[in-house]
Amino acid sequence: MKNMFTDIAIIGGGASGLLCGCAISKRYLKDNKKVSVTIFEKQQRVGRKILSTGNGKCNLTNAYANSKNYHGSFARYVDNLFQRYSPSYVVECFKKIGLLCTEDSNGRVYPLCKQASAVLDVLRFENERNGVELVCDTDVIEIKKSKGLFEIITANGSYQAKSVVIATGGKAAPKLGSDVKIYNTLKKSGHTCKPLSPALCAVPVKSDVIKSLKGVRCDGDVTLLCNDKAVKKESGEIQFTENALSGICVFNLSGYINGGDKNNRYEINIDLLPDFSFTDVKKLLTGRISLYKNEVIENLFVGLFHKRIGLALLKQSGIKTLSDKCSTLSDKNIDRLCENIKSWRFTALPCDSFDNAQVTSGGISGSEIDCNTLESKLVKNLYFCGEVIDIYGDCGGYNLQFAFASALAVGDNI
């Protein structure tokens, strides 16, 4: 092994670790100080997850990010962090290292070239320019501290470092490198790891009609109910899979279910016509029934909903005589249909697999981390950035915004 000592060791060469490497090295180069920085990455290449973000386009921040978009014990410190490391500051930092960005109407920021690989490349180039050593294929198994120095035990031997940054991410999407063994070593040094659960993923549901809707998409409002109480409402495209509801609006509900009390009863309520009141929907249906009076009931929703959504609504409303004429529908039938259009209920089940989750709920407790410097309050010269901390954001660039902002804060304070 070439160099068994490094001033600063960054564990994890993902989004936060790579930007942290750039920020630290740039600062010390500016001050003309010779400080060695090494990034340890267990995979053969750094930043694999970045390549998969934003469907290959990388939604790297969101112009409107604030604490309301975040969950977990560090969420309350986010506004303070973003005062200094705002989304526009992050965009500016990327511009300085060669990446130009563009913002859509929802504040989502992407590289101008719409290639996630460009984000990874500019981070790699800047680290290389600044002399940061990237040590790949090196799994960090344990970190110990004695006599003011850290010992970083890897599968390939041990390193010593004066300071360590934990940028190992969470447990989500394990095929992209996620690994949780670092939490065990952190627990040994007294840190608390809040329970880990998958977030930003599809929500499995129990329903008689879900199978028949596989592959269908529609727009609407989704509301998460916990023991009949509304918890969170989102709007957007809902995607139906064989046994789950999916789509960004559903992803944003999933963390509450997966991380919630197992005894809670969760339901997802879909409003298929959010711009219509119940009375409007009733008027609409009555009008259709008079227009389609000689058509079979099966065709009642043609021109309004996807054919299979229409059939599922009829089934859920207990209407079995699909070959009868629309004119035979009773007032009770119409009321049931209106209820299901405005509030179509699905029993939601927790998902325990991290395979298809975008992020992890849980991680190192926010109360054990200095919210300005991101240094551990328990172990001096130990810093955290990114998803390893107990915080996650909604879909829309919020998770990378946190990864980058926290990395920049470490860079300025280490």
Ligand X SMILES: Cc1cc2nc3c(=O)[nH]c(=O)nc-3n(C[C@H](O)[C@H](O)[C@H](O)COP(=O)(O)OP(=O)(O)OC[C@H]3O[C@@H](n4cnc5c(N)ncnc54)[C@H](O)[C@@H]3O)c2cc1C
C-alpha closest to that of 19 among 409, 413, 408, 414: 408
- For residue 14, state whether it binds ligand X (rule: CB under 6 A): yes
Using CB under 6 A, which residues numbered 142 to 171 contact ligand X?
167-169
Query: Closest distance between ligand X and the C-beta of residue 96, in Å?
Result: 20
- For residue 254, state whether it binds ligand X (rule: CB under 6 A): no
Query: Closest distance between ligand X and the C-beta of residue 260, in Å?
Result: 21
**CA 147 to chain centroid:** 39
Query: Closest distance between ligand X and the C-beta of residue 295, in Å?
Result: 44
Window of 14-22, 86-94, 224-232, 307-315 that interacts with ligand X by CB under 6 A: 14-22
- For residue 314, state whether it binds ligand X (rule: CB under 6 A): no
**Candidate list 271, 387, 390, 394; residue touching ligand X; CB under 6 A:** 387
- Cβ-based neighbour number of residue 211 at 10 Å: 12
Q: Where are the alpha helices (DSSP H) in 36-77?
A: 48-52
Give the side-chain half-sphere CA count within 13 A for 110. Answer: 19
- For residue 178, state whether it binds ligand X (rule: CB under 6 A): yes
Window of 125-133, 285-293, 361-369, 392-400 that interacts with ligand X by CB under 6 A: 392-400
- For residue 221, state whether it binds ligand X (rule: CB under 6 A): no
Query: DSSP labels for 200-234?
Result: SS-EEEE-SSGGGGTT-EEEEEEEEEETTEEEEEE
- For residue 397, state whether it binds ligand X (rule: CB under 6 A): yes
**Cross-strand bridge partners of residue 59:** none
Number of residues that bind ligand X (CB under 6 A): 39
171 secondary structure, DSSP code: S
**Cross-strand bridge partners of residue 384:** 166
Beta strand extents in 242-387 (DSSP E only):
244-246, 266-271, 344-348, 359-364, 382-384
**Candidate list 222, 249, 400, 409; residue touching ligand X; CB under 6 A:** 400
d(CA 286, CA 403): 52
- For residue 197, state whether it binds ligand X (rule: CB under 6 A): no
326 versus 388: smaller Cβ distance to ligand X: 388
- For residue 358, state whether it binds ligand X (rule: CB under 6 A): yes
d(CA 398, CA 61): 6
**Candidate list 10, 118, 119, 140; residue touching ligand X; CB under 6 A:** 140
- For residue 359, state whether it binds ligand X (rule: CB under 6 A): yes
53 versus 223: smaller Cβ distance to ligand X: 53
85 versus 301: smaller Cβ distance to ligand X: 85
What letters, b where the CB count within 10 A reaches 16 and e where it falls short, cover 100-137?
ebebeeeebbbbeeeebebbbbbbbebbeebebbbbee
d(CA 335, CA 160): 71
Contact in structure between 365 and 291 (CB atoms under 8 Å): no
d(CA 161, CA 151): 7
Query: Closest distance between ligand X and the C-beta of residue 177, in Å?
Result: 3
Window of 28-36, 176-184, 189-197, 270-278 that interacts with ligand X by CB under 6 A: 176-184
Window of 12-20, 22-30, 67-75, 301-309 that interacts with ligand X by CB under 6 A: 12-20
Sequence-separated (6 or more) residues with CB below 8 Å from residue 219: 235, 236, 237, 238
Using CB under 6 A, which residues numbered 31 to 50 contact ligand X?
40-43, 49
Question: 35: part of which helix (H) or strand (E)?
Answer: none
Window of 6-14, 261-269, 307-315, 326-334 that interacts with ligand X by CB under 6 A: 6-14
Sequence-separated (6 or more) residues with CB below 8 Å from residue 366: 72, 73, 74, 75, 76, 77, 389, 390, 391
- For residue 132, state whether it binds ligand X (rule: CB under 6 A): no
- For residue 246, state whether it binds ligand X (rule: CB under 6 A): no
111 versus 310: smaller Cβ distance to ligand X: 111
Query: Closest distance between ligand X and the C-beta of residue 28, in Å?
Result: 21
Mark 48-87 with x for binding to ligand X (rule: CB under 6 A) and - for no binding.
-x--xxx---xx----------------------------
Query: Closest distance between ligand X and the C-beta of residue 185, in Å?
Result: 9
Binding site for ligand X (CB under 6 A): 11-17, 40-43, 49, 52-54, 58-59, 139-140, 167-169, 172-173, 176-179, 181-182, 358-359, 386-387, 397-400, 403
